[in-house]
Amino acid sequence: MKRIAHIRIWVFISILGYLIPLGTAAQEKASPTPVKTRITLSYFVDNNNTSMVSARLSHKLNRRNVYDQGIELSLFLNEISDENLLAKEVTNKRGIAEFYLTERFQEIQDTLLNYKFYVVFNGNDSLKNKTSSLDIGKANLEMNLIEEDSIKYIEAHLTGVVDDTLRSIENEDLKFFVQRTFSQLPFGGKYTSTDKNGLVKIEFPNDIPGDESGRVEIVVKLVDHDDYGNIEKMKEANWGIPLVINNSELKGELWSDRYNAPFVLVFISLAVIIGVWFTLGYLVWRLIQIKRIGNKLS
Amino acid sequence: MAPENEKFVEEMKADLLPKKFGMLGKIWFSFLVVLIAIGMYSYYTQLRDGLVVTGMRDYVSWGMYISDFVFFVAVSLVGSLITAVLYLLNVKWRAPLTRIAEIIAVSNIVFAGLIIVVDMGRPERVLYLITHGRIQSPIVWDVIVVATYMTISLMLLYIPLLPGLAFCRDHMKNLPKWQYKMYNALALGWKGTKEQFEISRQSVRILAILIIPIALCIHTVTSWLFATTYRPGWDSTNFGPYFVSGAFLAGAAAVIIGMYVFYKKYENYDRYITPLHFDKMGRLLVLLALIYLYFNVNEYLVPAYKMKTEEAIHLHELVVGRYAFMFWFAQGMGMILPIIVLLFKKGRRPLPLFIISIVVVIGAWIKRYLIVIPTMEHPFVPIQEVPDFWMHYTPSFVEWSITLGSIAGVLLIITAFVRYFPILSIWEIAEERGIDLDKLNTKLESK
């Protein structure tokens, strides 16, 4: 009897264990609760003074960030209204929507010292609506390349809005790079903060390779600033060590590029290929002769 | 013409012209079409979602498609063996087998080319192999040699078929208009004149000479795709002849399967494909299995003697590890069994030989799988801290269905060919039996 009672309890627990998740699943299906979302905003100004607002939409799932793809976000300037709508963009697979601020914003930009951006997500069945804002002050970063006694210097000047006036910004870290093929090579050391005139002057290293004429692209950046966002400027200079390309070692090797293939290999391959295909061409001609003979007899 | 020859010609006319499919043929045709459709749908999903739908990951980036490619190339090599090698050796009994061998060669080489495109993540870039290819790369050699071999095989199928096409055009009755037009166009106005026969014979002779080095190249180059890569199991100078001998074995077995199907299923074909042909092919199969076994011993014994770390891991996986069953099946059933059974005359009778050949072909496919996959799973420099499923390859449904679809495609080409063209070469059989072709032609023309 005791054993039967045990079995009954296990059967009951098993059925319960099966039904509870089913019930939960049914509830989830019937009324899915939209989850909270988050919008992270960044502001960028590139070398051509083109501004861009980047918005990343995400939500939490099992304590992990999940980026939401294919969601339309709207960008407004200063207030959320139809007149102030700057652009609409759809998030990519990393959950990012990039709003490049072109003509319309450029017109307004000149008349304003501070901008407030709103990015609005209207929500859907599974994600809650969300609005995030970003305050940005107008700022400018300039770079001058100076040569003094054959020493090369880069001078960067940062100005920005403080108390509604545009002035030089003191004590801000700027970062200097040389553009390489796949990434940017930092230089300039630790002490690259602006002085009371908003200036940083650093020496350009004399051991950086450039292209064949010594050309390098020098980049200066203000990164993730709370008030001004990200600003990047770039200038070219013939300050690098000219690159000497010596392909002599690679010529005529099996591992060379296609233009430096070993002559013997190219010659033999082409001779064989041409020989075989010429023979096949000859046989096609013979087939045409078969047809001609047939046509004559017809 | 002697009266017995005249009778023989009339019989051939009745027997060898292509016939409409019966119910069984239609079911077979539909079955193949369904398999191909499933394969094509799978390929569509692969194109849509990318190679992530396959079991291939960073470790095993050459999976089942590459083993299919090697298998198809291997089987296609039989065209050169039967049509060229036996032709140049003046072996008379090969006459009824040449076209079977050639259509097997053509259908397989077509799908070898296609399966490589399937293996490409970005198939639209296939032309880059030519526009950006390096002549130093074995992959470029393979592209060139596959295209050349395919062309030669097609010509070797087509040129000896000309008299057969004319025969169909002139002697098949109640043909649909399109079918008559097809025969008429493809026959190139063949009238069976002495001159036409001479051109045809000369062309076949040239092709037979040309195809042998190309055939050796195609499978040697395929083997170099592996051997020029520094990996356990592939780092071998033995790979060229190892691949070529295995290819001849697989191809010869495929021809025997084809022979048996025609011998059994087509009325009166047993007059042309006789137990003698099975006996000869059985002997050939033993010889090829012995040669292949010799290269296998070389391939496994030498690394096993040295037991370098990575080679030891690879061999362990094959001999007693995860792939042991497949390995011993491929070695035992695919090579040793045919040698033992076919040494006896009874083993070379049609049915036992047919069964053995099926086992050999299955063993040949498994063998190609074993050449590609286990090696990929054990690189010399493994990637650190990768997910477990990167290290072990299991083909996905998409790969299985595309593989089965490709095999069905090969069989469909052969089936469609048999439906519309004479699978046995009327003129070669006549020649084999000593009938003067000129007289035969005059006789047929006057009918």
**From CA B202, how far away is CA B48, in angstroms rounded?**
49
Mean pLDDT is lowest, of A1-10, A203-212, B162-171, B341-350, for A1-10
Mean pLDDT of A210-230: 94
Q: Which residues of B touch A254 (CB under 8 A)?
A: 136
pLDDT at A25: 47
Chain B: nearest CA to A91, how far in angstroms? 20
Interface probe with A: pick from B128, B129, B134, most Cβ of A within 10 Å: B134
A261/B133 CB distance under 8 A = no
Whether residue B200 lies within 8 A of chain A, CB to CB, comes out as: yes
Mark yes or no for CB contact B199/A273 under 8 Å. no
Sequential DSSP letters for A29-84: HHSPPPBPEEEEEEEEE-TT--EEEEEEEEEEETTEEEEPPS-EEEEEESS-SGGG
Instruction: Give the residue, A262 or A102, on which the prediction is more confident.
Output: A262
| Burial class, B160, CB count within 10 angstroms (exposed 0-12 / middle 13-18 / buried 19+) | buried
**Optimal mutation site among B52, B135, B139, interface A, most CBs of chain A within 10 A:** B135
Q: Which residue has the higher pLDDT, A63 or B115?
A: B115
Helices (H), A168-209: none
The alpha carbon of residue B198 is apart from the nearest alpha carbon of chain A, in Å, by: 10
Q: What pLDDT sits at residue A275?
A: 95
B214/A287 Cβ within 8 A: no
**β-pair type (A151-162, A199-203):** antiparallel
Contact criterion met (CB < 8 Å) for A273 and B144: yes
pLDDT tens for residues A17-62?
555 554 444 444 445 688 999 999 999 998 888 889 999 999 998 8
Q: What does pLDDT average to over chain B?
A: 90
Give residue for tokens 């502001």.
A43
Given an 8 Å threshold on Cβ–Cβ distance, is A297 in contact with B191? yes
Which residues from chain B sit within 8 angstroms of residue A257, using beta carbons?
134
Other Cβ atoms less than 10 A from the Cβ of B320: the count is 11
Predicted local confidence at residue B342, as pLDDT: 95
Is residue A98 pLDDT above 70, yes or no? yes
Beta-carbon separation of A283 and B189 below 8 A: no
Cα A34–Cα A37–Cα A43 angle in degrees, nearest 5? 155
Name which of A290, A293, A295, A298 to mutate to probe chain B: the one with the most chain B Cβ atoms within 10 A of its Cβ. A290
Contact B193 A269 (CB under 8 A): no
Amino acid symbol at A297: L
**pLDDT higher at B223 or B86:** B223
Does the pLDDT of residue A248 top 70, yes or no?
A: no
Check B207 against A287: CB less than 8 A apart: no
pLDDT score at A5:
54
Contact in structure between B104 and B254 (CB atoms under 8 Å):
yes
- Chain A residue with CA closest to B199: the answer is A286
Would you state the pLDDT for residue A16? 52
| Contact predicate B399/B63, CB 8 Å | yes
Question: Does the pLDDT value for residue A143 go beyond 90?
Answer: yes
B31 vs A65, residue with greater confidence: B31
What's the gap in Å between the CA of A195 and the closest CA on chain B?
A: 47
pLDDT tens-digit map of B277-302: 999 999 999 999 999 999 999 999 99
- Please give the residue of chain A at the shortest CA–CA distance from B131: A258
Chain A residue closest in CA terms to B192: A294
Q: Is A9 on the interface with B (CB under 8 A)?
A: no
C-beta of residue B219 within 8 angstroms of C-beta of residue B72: no
Query: Which pair of tokens denotes residue A208?
Result: 């950086």
Is pLDDT above 70 for B5? Answer: no
Residues of chain B neighbouring A262 (CB-CB closer than 8 A): 136
Which residues of chain B have a CB within 8 Å of the CB of A290? 162, 188-190, 196, 199-200
B122 touches chain A (CB under 8 A): no
Say what angle helices B64-76 and B239-265 make with each other, to 10 degrees: 70
A258 contact residues in B (CB cutoff 8 A): 132-136
Q: What is the mean pLDDT of residues A100-106?
A: 78
What's the pLDDT at A14?
A: 58
Give the mean pLDDT of B150-161.
Answer: 94
- CA angle B178-B183-B187, nearest 5°? 150
Q: In this complex, is the C-beta atom of B196 within 8 Å of any C-beta atom belonging to chain A?
A: yes
The pLDDT confidence band at residue B58, using thresholds 50, 70 and 90, is confident
Q: What is the DSSP string of B17-44?
A: S-----HHHHHHHHHHHHHHHHHHHHHH
- pLDDT at position A27: 46
Q: What is the pLDDT of residue A260?
A: 84
Higher pLDDT residue, B4 or B130?
B130
Out of B193, B196, B203, the one facing A283 most closely (by C-beta) is: B203
- C-beta separation of B164 from B6 below 8 A: no
Q: In the predicted model, what is the mean pLDDT of chain A? A: 86
Contact B55, B394 (CB under 8 A): yes
- Shortest Cα distance from B1 to chain A (angstroms)? 24
A261 shares contact with chain B (CB less than 8 Å): yes
Give the β-pairing of A72-77 and A64-67: unpaired
Lowest mean pLDDT among B4-13, B104-113, B376-385: B4-13
Q: Identify which of B134, B152, B207 has the shortest CB distance to residue A257.
A: B134
- Mean pLDDT in residue range B403-421: 96
B268 touches chain A (CB under 8 A): no
Contact status of B221 with chain A (Cβ, < 8 Å): no
Instruction: Please report the pLDDT score of residue A23 as a whole number.
Output: 47
- Reported as a pLDDT band with limits 50, 70 and 90, residue A136 is very high
Adjacent-strand bridge partners of A72: A90
Closest Cβ–Cβ partner in B191, B199, B207 for A289: B199
Residue A60: beta bridge partners?
A65
Residue B7 has pLDDT above 60, yes or no: yes
Helix axes A263-297, B138-158, angle to 10 degrees: 20
What gap in Å lies between CA B112 and CA B114, rounded to an integer? Answer: 6
Contacts of A9 (CB under 8 A, 6+ apart): none
- In this complex, is the C-beta atom of A265 within 8 Å of any C-beta atom belonging to chain B? yes
Instruction: Give the residue, A14 or B53, on which the prediction is more confident.
Output: B53
β-partners of residue A187 are A176
3-state class of A206 per DSSP?
coil
- ipTM confidence: 0.88
pLDDT tens digits, B159-183: 999 988 998 888 888 889 999 999 9
Average pLDDT over residues B232-245: 92
| Closest chain A CA to residue B203 | A283
- Interface mutation target, options B136, B143, B152, chain A, most CBs of A under 10 Å: B136
Note the pLDDT tens digit of each residue in A147-186: 988 899 999 999 999 888 889 999 999 999 999 988 899 9
The Cα-based distances of A32 to A21, A28, B310, B331, B367 in angstroms read: 15, 5, 53, 58, 52
- Decide: B250 and B75 in contact? Cβ < 8 Å: yes
pLDDT given at position A4: 54
